[in-house]
Every structure is written in C-alpha cells, then in structure tokens.
A and B are shown apart, each in its own frame.
Chain A
Amino acid sequence: MNWDLFTRHYLDGDIETLSQVSEWILQATYSFRQKLGDAREDLVQSVHQELITYLSQNHQSIEKSFKALVWRIATHRSIDWCRRQSRHPSEDLPPDLQDGHPQALQKILSAESAALVARVMMAVKKECRDIWLRIAAGDSYQEIASALQISAGSLRVKALRCRNQAKEIRQRLEKKLLTKAPFKRHNHQGDAHDL
C-alpha cells in the first residue's frame, strides 16, 4: 500500500478513503465499545479531526502504515476517554494545550516520552503523589490543607516544590539520555529505545 498516496487522498477529503479510515477507527475501538457507548461516534469524529490537523501541520510522509497510526491513536483516545469518566473534570485549557492538539499527539506516538514519564513516576516521593492525587480528585486547596493539617500557603508551596522536583528528575534523566546514547535519539516513528 502506498501510504503517501493514501494520506494525500485522505487530506483531500476523498470519500472512499475517509470511509476506510472511519472503519478502521471503529474496528480499533471495538473492544472498548461497551464502555464508550454513544460516545464512540464522537470519538470517531475527534480522531479524524486530530489526524487531519496533525498531518496537515506536520507535512511529513508516512513511511510506516497509516492504518497502524490510526489504530494507535484510536486506542489511546479510547483509554483516555474511559479514564476521564473516573476523573474530576478539569479546567478548559487553551486549544494548543489540550490533549488533542498535534503537539500532544506527538507524545502519543513516542514510547520514549512515555517511558520518561514512567521513570519520573517511579522516582517521586509518596508525599508529593498523595498531595497531587487529592488535587486530581478536585479538592480545593483549603480542603487539602485542612485534611493535611497545614496552612493553605504551605500547601501551595509544597505542591509547587513537588512539581519542581519532578521537573528536576526529568531533566536529570534527559541529560543522562543525551550522554548515554547520543546517536539513538532521533526517531520520529514512535519506536522505543533503551533509556
């Protein structure tokens, strides 16, 4: 299959190509159908939107299977949707910082980026995780401060320190990556490397 040509037809809005991609998205989300319910149709449309935006803005040729790309994104979004149902709804972010933005999409395709997040998760302190889990649950700073028996000001400072610690760990790991394997970094196809 000439994926370059297929992608061009897709971006040109060819009906048969669009229909084929819709079928793929439906197949990829098939195992999540019970949980997604009616939201599955919306998910099909949002994956299309993400793909079109990403491909239009990145202008890169698809060397590997476009079908595999669609499958991954659709699977990722299905899991993301399922997780959101159990999370407290968060603030509407500016468009370029929302999850569906092409820059966010690049993270989906990069197992390296995910492995980095995982390694930071392994290294952060339990105290920090406890504070942030309460934040993710939607608790106000007054509620959390009261539960932890500290002042609201101390809590905000602690949360910021935890965030900065996570950032330092990440920067240390990224630096280690660069010094360890300087010639293995450039991979845009989402393949994982040993970090």
Chain B
Amino acid sequence: MTCESWSEMLPWILNGSASDEIRQSFRAHLSTCDVCRAELEECQWAWRVFQDHPPIEIITATAFGDRLPKDVQRWLQAHLETCPSCPTELQAAQTSAALLRKKPFPWRNFAALAATLLLGFAIGYWQKGPQTISAIQAIDLMPDAMRGTNTPIALDRNAQQILLILYPNNRPPYWQIEVFSGTKRLYQINQMAPLSDGSVSLLLPPPSQSEGWRIVLSAAGDQEEFNCEWRHPSQ
C-alpha cells in the first residue's frame, strides 16, 4: 500500500474495524514512515474535532473558572442545552473544582473571632472564668480501599481539636459512626447526615498519644472503614 492509501484507511484502522492483516501491516509500516506517523497524528486530531461532544479541556476549563473566548462559551452553552450527558460531566467537574478550593476551616473568620474575644476579655470579666480558643487541625480521609499507604498523620502540637473530613464512596441518608482505638470504642454517633458532596465531618479531641484509629461508617447495607495512624508531637 502507498502512503496515500494508508492515509485513506487510517480512520478505519483507528476505529478497529479494519482487518487484523491491515492493522498489523500498518503498524509495521508506521515504524519506518514518518509521513504516516504525521498523518496518524492529524487523523487523531480530526477524531477530536468530529466528536459529538466538546473537548474535555473545555469542560474542565469551564469548571475551573478559566477564561474562555465568548464564542466558545456560547457554543458550549448551546450544546449543554441539548446534550443529555455533558451537563452531568460539567457538574461533576465543578464539584471536583469546588473541593480543590474548599478550605477545611475559615481561618480568617477564626482570627477575627479570636480578636473580638480577646477584646472582650480586656474590657470585661466573665463569671465562668477565661475561655480558651481551640486550634483546630483539619484532615481529609479517603476510605481504606482507596488509599495505597497509611502514612502516620503528624498531630499539630497546638491542635486542641481535630476536624476529620471523611469521603465515603456511598451516600446513604444517614451514617452511624464509631471511632475505635484498638478494640476500645472511643466515640459513637448514631445518625449523621452527609453534606451535599457526600462527605462527613467529625470534630473530636486529638489523641493524647500516638495511636491508630479505626473509623467505621455504617448504614443499611453499607459499611466503610477509614484507618489513620496518629503521630503525637511528644513522640
């Protein structure tokens, strides 16, 4: 076959419908022909152009708030109004982008609150005695099945509370949550509703020493487990 003939056959080689003989013959030819390699790249590019859906990069750029040309934005909007699958894709990408921007604790608000409370202490006297402001260490956790390693989490020496944000795979209306250290159950919450993104947050006192926690989430028919190893600053 000539390079011109290969060029005509390329779409059917790429879609897998060409015979085995033709595909093997093309692979052998490709290893020695730069012209056909260039044609293959062009054909791949054309494949993207003739798709039924916008390039994925447009979806992710929109989700992550990149500035796109106005005509491309209008074209995308028109497509979203008629496509059954792209709006779902975009929504999932936007949820993902929101997780990137998500701050586990509003430190600025916390600093403003701390300043206000300090001013209150300076002006007046509180019958209950001085109140302490807790420092909160926030940690995100994925289910065990998803995590390749269980690297110990270093506890911040100033942390007076830990905010554990769990990301279970399933989304029942409520979870029962139990936190164990070894066989000893430390905490139990009978009904906790997940947030809109499916995550669950627990605000707990930090462990007093290095130890492992097993957090079990249970709902009708579902159980997910999260394990974490704490490394205490004193050890």
Contact = CB atoms under 8 A, between A and B. Distances in A.
A131 B63 CA distance: 31
B51 to A, nearest CB: 7
- The size class of the interface chain B forms with chain A is 35 or more
A67 B27 CA distance: 38
A111 B54 CA distance: 12
B91 to A, nearest CB: 8
B110 interface: no
B12 interface: yes
Given A97-B44, A192-B66, A117 B14 contact: no
A63 interface: no
B8 A19 contact: no
Contact of A16 (B30, B93, B151): B151
Contacts of B42: 163, 167
**What's the dominant secondary structure at chain B's contact region?**
helix
A52 interface: no
Interface string A168-195: 0010000000000000000000111111
- Main secondary structure, interface of A, reads helix
B219 to A, nearest CB: 16
Given A79-B89, A166-B50, A195-B69, A30 B96 contact: yes
B14 A192 contact: no
A170 B58 CA distance: 17
Contacts of B197: 30-31
Contact of A31 (B30, B37, B40, B96): B96
A26 interface: yes
12 contacts: A16-B151, A19-B147, A31-B91, A83-B56, A88-B16, A91-B23, A118-B75, A132-B47, A136-B15, A140-B18, A141-B17, A156-B9
Interface of A: 15-16, 18-19, 22-23, 26-33, 40-41, 44, 67-68, 71-72, 74-76, 78-80, 82-83, 86, 88-91, 93-94, 97, 107-108, 110-111, 113-115, 117-122, 124, 128-129, 132-133, 135-141, 143, 156-157, 159-160, 162-163, 166-167, 170, 190-195
Given A19-B151, A75-B63, A114-B57, 18 more contacts: A26-B146, A31-B96, A31-B197, A44-B148, A68-B64, A79-B56, A91-B13, A108-B60, A115-B72, A118-B76, A121-B49, A122-B71, A132-B50, A138-B17, A141-B12, A191-B67, A193-B67, A195-B69
